Amino acid sequence: MSQEIEKVRVLIIGSGPAGYTAAIYASRAGLSPVLYTGGQPGGQLTITNDVENYPGYPDGVMGPQMMEDFRKQAERFGTSVRYGLVTNVDFSVSPKVVTVDEQVTIHAETVIISTGASAKWLGLESETRLNGKGVSACAVCDGFFFRNQEVAIVGAGDTACEEATYLANICSKVYMLVRKDEMRASQIMQKRVMNNPKIEVLWNTETDEILGEEEVNGVRIFNNKTGEKSEIAISGFFVAIGHQPNTEIFKEYIHMDNSGYITTIPGSSKTNIEGVFACGDAQDNVYRQAVTAAGTGCMAALDAERYLAEIENP
């Protein structure tokens, strides 16, 4: 029995702020988009408690509730939101061939990639248990909740230095835990950290355990040269050891940078493949905010709409 093939004008892969915003714009344009949520419906915001920096929510909003609002708005205008994981793509043909859960085949005139990125974690049980309860992978998102408090941040690259400096503007003290006796960060970023009196860099230091039952109240660290353990009283623990874009499945066709972030034509969401667009954290390794992801989702939908208009009315 041959498998039935579904034909779609706009297929959106991923369901964070970028994917849902693209869906809202595409569905309002009458393009009947189909959106597959991926393995984490709603994306990283579903593991975020309070979101206070997204416009339109004056009292803040829980991350999962915010994504539920986005989904409902997309569905209101006719988006078909489906649970499923894209397992294979073929972008060498037109329409594009996309396989979902290794069994559903879709022929899509346009594809919008909004698969996001996942934060890299240390892999501690306490890190998982206290995620959203003092443990965070985004200082810009959550630093405000720890104003005038002492926090720690793990990392040694530019992002870690940037976030440590950001936290120092809000918090009373920032402990920066660096695994080696040097940083990977650029000299200018290191200088900013070293010259900030509110940041204390702890070299050759690794995290043994994050302390606290219901919320973070400390961290146990150890010096990997001497083996000596010690505890620091903190209320916030930030992990800044990098992000991994969820783009592996597209690498055969789509141009990416060395870290796997999709390369788009500046000022657009266009990739190197005509009819394939990328938005959100899958192509943004700089800002990584819900509001910027939503903005690029809008761009992707408008770019897809214009592309369809050109091929359907040459």
Residues marked active site are found at 138, 141-142
Residues 6+ away with beta carbon under 8 Å from 180: 156, 203, 204
- Cβ pair 236, 146 in contact under 8 A: yes
Strand partners, 107: 7, 97
Question: Rounded to an integer, what distance in angstroms lies between the CA atom of residue 158 and that of residue 301?
Answer: 32
Closest CA to 185 of 156, 165, 163, 207: 156
Question: Rounded to an integer, what distance in angstroms lies between the CA atom of residue 259 and that of residue 254?
Answer: 13
Residue 97 exposed, middle or buried by CB count within 10 Å (0-12, 13-18, 19+): middle
Radius of gyration of the chain from its Cα atoms, rounded to whole angstroms: 21
DSSP state of 146: G
Residues 6+ away with beta carbon under 8 Å from 234: 149, 150, 151, 152, 175, 216, 217, 218, 219
